[in-house]
Structure 1
């Protein structure tokens, strides 16, 4: 077979492939138009749910412990102890979970002097 004949065959195959892709796109577009109302409603429902329930990442004791341990290893043990005592405890495990976010903010502000 000549090179020209091979190129013609490839071009015809590519044209056939393009036609097939176009047919799939048209079919998907038709389905999309039919389902547009359902999708719009679903999107609105998701937006309402997002507004109703803001997702707040729960901070765990392990997360706080890791940050404080890092600060302590960096030479700020006394400051870490002050933060814990400020929240009415001698040990981190004694602190109520509602204070974890505050403790993390305070720990992030620590600098080694």
Structure 2
């Protein structure tokens, strides 16, 4: 490799490193942002069963999002899925649906 090629590669590597630092800073800022309260659902609008919610949550866990599912359950005020208020199933499922999608 020539000195020019090495210099060019070094410059590109430096740019890549700076970009990675910016991404890390953005992720840290996002983690520090307050978590919005889940929207309140009226019990009459319940359309889902615990079994349906459990199936979707298990699918997300199998996809590698076990910790995120657990954190989401806690954000909805429960220690485990069976403790989740049935009125919150629909909103919980919506949050599960977007889990793993960049955005």
Tell me the residue number matched to 1:66: 55
Calculate the TM-score normalised by the size of structure 2. Answer: 0.52
1:106 equivalent in alignment to 2:100? no
Number of equivalences: 59
**What is the CA-CA distance between 1:57 and the residue it aligns to?**
6.7
Q: Which runs of 5+ in 2 are unaligned?
A: 1-44
* Structural RMSD (CA): 2.1
What secondary structure sits across from 1:59 in the alignment? coil
Instruction: Give the greater-gyration-radius structure (CA).
Output: 1
Tell me the residue number matched to 2:66: 77
Does the 8 Å contact 1:75/1:112 carry over to 2?
no
Equivalent residues in 2 for 1:3-82, closer than 5 Å:
58-82=47-71
- Structure 1 segments of 4 or more deviating over 6 A? none
Q: Which has more helix, going by share of residues?
A: 1
Q: Distance in 2 between matches of 1:106 and 1:57?
A: 16
**What is the CA-CA distance between 1:58 and the residue it aligns to?**
1.8
